[in-house]
Every structure is written in structure tokens, then in C-alpha cells.
Chain A
Amino acid sequence: MTPVQAVIAKELRVYFVSPIVYVVGAVFLLIFGLLSYLYVGFAGAQAIQLMQMQGGAAQINLNDLVFRNLFASMRIVLVIILPILTMRLFAEERKLRTFEFLMTSPIRINDIVVGKFVSVFAIYLGLVGLTVLVPTVLMLFSDFDWNPIWTGYLGMVLLGALFLSVGVFASALTENQIVAAFVSFGMLLTIWLISGLGSLFGDTTAGRVISYFSYMEHYERLVRGLIDTSDLVYFGSGLVLMLFLTHRVVESTRWK
């Protein structure tokens, strides 16, 4: 077992022994389920209205009415929930003085950062994986196109990865877990609002550049079913940047 694998295994173990994963997982799945139920309910009501107005059997599009809304709503859920999942990663090590132990172990800081990120990402993937149950159940009663759903899931996975990397970074900044959660929450909301700033400038170069820095338009395109390389580059580079900054922050504690 390489050091990275050892770190991943240890983090996963700690996550599953402590109640965090269960609580966060339960809330995440509950909200996902409730949102799906509501959107399906709205879609049903719309279908009935359409039938009454047109008199015939109306085709309702679940992709547009349910899944697009569902994925769009999940953004705010992720902004709130994911910092809770990441807040302990470095802050707890510092609080419990195990940070010194990690830093004096013969492993690279890269291994620590990547190990911690991969462990929390694996948990997130597990949670997202469980939500596939919703479209699977809906498939039994209705007909829809799976492709935009897969791109939506891809978006959710990429968005989650970016949020988690922001959370890992925030956790490295402090030894207080609440501060860590709040900092990542603040950062994620700020990046969200950057898209508002971009639209203030309208369809100018400045506006487009500013909007590019927010995850909003990139996520929206994936939810609409578009896979654009520039979006993948955005998520990939954002993730790498945050992990790199985490590395710098962890490294810098040695010099204080």
C-alpha cells in the first residue's frame, strides 16, 4: 500500500466511524428525494392542465420539467452540504495535534493533500451514485432521454469535485472546523455571485471573462446536455488550482 492509499484508507475509516458521513449523506439523499418528488409533482400537475386544455394525451418532457430543475437546484444544496464534509480534513488534524505527526512522516505533502481529497471525493461519488435510483424508478413509469441525465450527473460530479477542493483548501487554513466550513461556504457563494457580476456587464468581452470564472454557466451547459471542452477545462483547472493552493498553505505552516 502506497502512502496515498494509506491516507485514503485512514480518512475513509475515520469518516465512517464518525457520524459525519451518515448525517450529511442522509440529509443529501433526503433533499434530493424531496426535490425529485416535488418536480415530478409539478410536472404531473402541468400534464393534467395540458390535458384539460388540449383534450388529448399530452406528452410531458421529464428531462426539461424534472431533471434540469433538479440538477439546477442541487447547486445550492452542494454549496451548503459539501463544506460540512470537508471541514474536518486538515482542521481536525491541527486541533488534535496529529498534523505534526503527518508532517514528520516520510510522505510528501502532495500525498497528504491528494489522499484527503480523493477520500472525500469517493464518499461524494457514493452519495451521488445512490441518487441514480431516482431516474431509475422514474424510468419504470415514463420515457425519457438518458443522455442529458448523464451529462447532468457529470456536471454534478465535476461541480462537487470543485466544491470539495475549495473545502479542502479552506480546511487547511485554520484549526477550527466551523471557521473552515464557513470560509468554504463563503468562497463558494462568492464564486457563484461572480456570474451575476458578469451578467451586469452584458455580452461584452469583460462580461464573458468574468462569467467564465463562475461555475454557473459551466454547470448549466452540462445540465442542458452540452459537453464542452472549455467547461471540462474549467472544472479541471479549478480543482488543480485549489489543491495546489492547499499544498502551499500546508507547506507554509512549516515556516511560521
Chain B
Amino acid sequence: MIDVHNITKRYGHHTAIDRVTFSVAKGEVLAFLGPNGAGKTTTMRILTCFMPATEGTARVAGFDCTDQPLEVKRQIGYLPETPPVYQELTVTEYLTFVGQLRGLTGPKLSSALDQSIGRLELGTVRHRLIGNLSRGYRQRVGLAQALLHDPPVLILDEPTVGLDPKQIIEIRELIKSLAGSHSVILSTHILPEATAVCQRVVIINKGRIVAEDTPEQLSARLRHSEKISITLKTCPADCEAKLRAISGVLHVFPGQGGGTFLIECELGRDLRDEIARVAVLNQWGLLELRTLSMTLEDVFLQLTRHEDHSTETTEATVSMASAEHTDT
């Protein structure tokens, strides 16, 4: 549905995005992940034909973004960073205007209107001026606008900003429900969001794509060892040594608080039952035992810091991040 090939965007001497290539299949939800200023919004603006790329080609539903902007725009529902709403219009008036711009008329328009108002639960505010609505409602009006004409491609720039936790969950459910029938690109810097709703993640940093895969694959790829966290009721002085003696264990780090250990094992080996057996045998009082998978957060930090530091320091950051994760 979306094909981006080697696009580069320069503002004067500043390169905002540098040879970015990726594609989104029909029905797929793709997360665009990156720190602020990484080039997420620029990429989206190129895809929505707001601005052309300096180099490279971008195609949406088979139409070229530079040569056939009108066709491309018809295929896309776009929610920019700031919800594009007119304060002087009511929700209904605004959505009517949006529908008319997209060529909806008569009964088609009113059914689209009712559908998107229903989807985003705007029924109670539909006759209120947008200027008087809260940030969360405006964001939802912005989303309703993007969904109004039921476009095959949705481009959402940080869709859950400004929403309360309940609304965030609802919007994520909504996006998930769009998968299959719609191709969605959403940008975010909230990592659990990417894991929750997306089949694929593109991590972009300083204008370059640094990784592209499913969230699970990404964490698997960057993992160098299995990590297990255990909590013991009593821990005699020799327990650390005894844990280290188990075959396959690489390191044992004492965690914060008594009785907690972070055990690093060889990649691909599950030592949980062995560790449990040793703990029970020695009567340490096993309170907790769990594997730590690398979260997307760790992956993200590792990849986006990669450019600044050497590999060693990044490794250290990752294990620190994992250790922090143990405590939480």
C-alpha cells in the first residue's frame, strides 16, 4: 500500500531524513518510533504530500506523491501532530466541512458523519464549538476527521497524545480494529503503544532507519543472553556461588534489596527449572522466579544511543535498563 524508496529531505544544510526506505502492506499497522526530531513528522508530511522529498520516491496505493498528489490525498486520512480543528465550528460543522472537501455528499456524508462520531464517542459534544472542548476531545475530533471518509491508508502522528488512560486504551483498540482493512502508520514515542497495536516497528533516529521488524523479533535480535530474575526469602552467603555453579549461568548480579538476583544465562537455554530445583534443595525460600524479556524500551535505547556511544557502553546501558526493569 505504501512504498517509500530512498527518500531524503534536506532543509538547507540540515538533513531531516536520510535515504529512508520502508513499505507497508495492505492491512498492516506500522509504528514509527524515534526520539523527538528523528524525522517521523517529516516522513509523514512527505507521504501526505504536504511537502515533496528532496530525493527518492514515495508511493501510496500506487500513486506517486510528487506526480499525483490529489490521488494520493484521496487515499489518506491524516492526523497531524496538532489536531487540525477550527475553533469557531461545532464538531458536526467541522466534520461536514471535512467530508465536503473529500467529496462526500448527501446521505453518504451524513452516514460517514454518524459513523465517525459514534466511533470516537463524540455524540455528547457534537453541537458544541470545538474551541470550548478539552484537549482530549479535540484530539478525538482530529481522529474522527482522519477516519471520516474511511480511507485505505491512515497516517497518524502521535494519535494518543493528550488523552486520558481510558481513552488511550480505547483509541488503541480502535486502531487495532482498523488493522486488516486499513494500512496504518502511526508515530509514537510511547513504546508500549507500539508493542500493543503494531505488527511492525520502524525505529528511526537522526533521520535514518536503524531497525525494522516485529516488536518480538527486534528484542530477540538484540538480546545477547537470557535473563532471569529471582527473589529468595533467605539468602546465605554461598547462594550466589551456588547459583553461578549451575551449568549455563554466565553471571549473577545481586539486585537492589535483599534476596533479589539477576541471573544471566547462555542464549537459548531455559534454566528456570534448574534454578528452582537448586533453590528448593537449599531451602532458600523461592518467592519469585521470572524471565526478563528485553522490552521495546531497551531495544529503543540501545538502537538510538548506538550512534553516540561505543558498543560497550550501550551494552552497559541495556543491562542497566534491564536491571531497572527488574525492580519495577
In the complex, chain A residues whose CB is within 8 Å of the CB of B105: 1
- Tell whether B325 is near chain A: CB-to-CB under 8 Å: no
Interface pair B89/A14, CB less than 8 Å apart: yes
Interface string of A59-103 (1 = CB under 8 A from B): 000000000000000000000000000000000000011101101
Question: Would you give the shortest CB distance from B12 to chain A, in whole angstroms?
Answer: 10
Interface string of B277-311 (1 = CB under 8 A from A): 00000000000000000000000000000000000
Most buried by A among B45, B50, B87, B101: B101
Q: How far is the CA of A100 from the CA of B101 in the complex (A)?
A: 14
Main secondary structure on B side of the interface with A:
loop
Q: How far is the CA of A96 from the CA of B11 in the complex (A)?
A: 23
In the complex, chain B residues whose CB is within 8 Å of the CB of A101: 78, 80, 84, 145
Interface pair B84/A100, CB less than 8 Å apart: yes
Stretch at the interface among A5-13, A146-154, A241-249: A5-13
Question: Would you give the shortest CB distance from A5 to chain B, in whole angstroms?
Answer: 8
Interface pair B88/A105, CB less than 8 Å apart: no
Could you tell me which residues of chain B, from 66 to 111, have a CB within 8 Å of some CB in chain A? 70, 73-74, 76, 78, 80-82, 84-89, 93, 97-98, 100-103, 105
- Tell whether A54 is near chain B: CB-to-CB under 8 Å: no
The one of A13, A17, A106, A254 in contact with B101, judged by C-beta atoms closer than 8 angstroms, is A106
Question: For residue B52, which residue of chain A has the nearest CB?
Answer: A254
Q: From known contacts A13-B93, A254-B50, infer whether A105 and B85 are also in contact, taking CB-CB under 8 Å.
A: no
Question: Would you give the shortest CB distance from A116 to chain B, in whole angstroms?
Answer: 13
Q: From known contacts A105-B102, A106-B74, A107-B101, infer whether A254 and B51 are also in contact, taking CB-CB under 8 Å.
A: yes
Q: How far is the CA of A97 from the CA of B87 in the complex (A)?
A: 12
- Tell whether B49 is near chain A: CB-to-CB under 8 Å: yes
Main secondary structure on A side of the interface with B:
helix
Q: How far is the CA of A3 from the CA of B70 in the complex (A)?
A: 13
Interface pair A96/B48, CB less than 8 Å apart: no
Interface pair B100/A6, CB less than 8 Å apart: yes
Question: For residue A6, which residue of chain B has the nearest CB?
Answer: B100
In the complex, chain A residues whose CB is within 8 Å of the CB of B87: 96
Could you tell me which residues of chain A, from 1 to 32, have a CB within 8 Å of some CB in chain B? 1, 3, 5-7, 9-10, 13-14, 17-18
Question: For residue B80, which residue of chain A has the nearest CB?
Answer: A100
In the complex, chain B residues whose CB is within 8 Å of the CB of A107: 101
In the complex, chain B residues whose CB is within 8 Å of the CB of A141: none
Interface pair A98/B50, CB less than 8 Å apart: no
The one of B70, B80, B86, B145 in contact with A106, judged by C-beta atoms closer than 8 angstroms, is B70
Interface pair A100/B50, CB less than 8 Å apart: yes
The one of B11, B70, B74, B86 in contact with A10, judged by C-beta atoms closer than 8 angstroms, is B86
Question: For residue B93, which residue of chain A has the nearest CB?
Answer: A13
Question: For residue A17, which residue of chain B has the nearest CB?
Answer: B88
Question: For residue A99, which residue of chain B has the nearest CB?
Answer: B84
- Tell whether A208 is near chain B: CB-to-CB under 8 Å: no
In the complex, chain B residues whose CB is within 8 Å of the CB of A108: 70
How many residues of chain B are within 8 Å of chain A by beta carbon?
A: 31
Question: Would you give the shortest CB distance from A22 to chain B, in whole angstroms?
Answer: 13
Q: How far is the CA of A108 from the CA of B49 in the complex (A)?
A: 12
The one of A14, A97, A105, A256 in contact with B73, judged by C-beta atoms closer than 8 angstroms, is A105
Interface pair B84/A3, CB less than 8 Å apart: no
In the complex, chain A residues whose CB is within 8 Å of the CB of B145: 101
In the complex, chain B residues whose CB is within 8 Å of the CB of A98: 84-86
Question: Would you give the shortest CB distance from A249 to chain B, in whole angstroms?
Answer: 15
Question: Would you give the shortest CB distance from B196 to chain A, in whole angstroms?
Answer: 27
Question: Would you give the shortest CB distance from A130 to chain B, in whole angstroms?
Answer: 23
In the complex, chain A residues whose CB is within 8 Å of the CB of B76: 104
Q: How far is the CA of A33 from the CA of B107 in the complex (A)?
A: 47
In the complex, chain B residues whose CB is within 8 Å of the CB of A3: 100-101, 103
Interface pair B84/A97, CB less than 8 Å apart: yes
Interface pair A14/B50, CB less than 8 Å apart: no
Interface pair A104/B50, CB less than 8 Å apart: yes
Interface pair A105/B101, CB less than 8 Å apart: yes
Question: Would you give the shortest CB distance from B120 to chain A, in whole angstroms?
Answer: 17
Most buried by A among B50, B78, B82, B129: B50
Question: Would you give the shortest CB distance from B269 to chain A, in whole angstroms?
Answer: 51
The one of A5, A100, A106, A255 in contact with B52, judged by C-beta atoms closer than 8 angstroms, is A255
Question: For residue B76, which residue of chain A has the nearest CB?
Answer: A104
Question: Would you give the shortest CB distance from A180 to chain B, in whole angstroms?
Answer: 18
Q: How far is the CA of A101 from the CA of B144 in the complex (A)?
A: 13
In the complex, chain B residues whose CB is within 8 Å of the CB of A104: 48-50, 73, 76, 78, 80
Question: For residue B94, which residue of chain A has the nearest CB?
Answer: A10
In the complex, chain B residues whose CB is within 8 Å of the CB of A256: 11, 51
Interface pair A106/B103, CB less than 8 Å apart: yes
18 pairs from A and B in contact (CB 8 Å cutoff): A1-B100, A3-B101, A10-B97, A13-B93, A17-B129, A96-B85, A96-B86, A97-B80, A98-B85, A100-B50, A101-B84, A101-B145, A103-B49, A104-B48, A104-B73, A105-B98, A108-B70, A255-B51
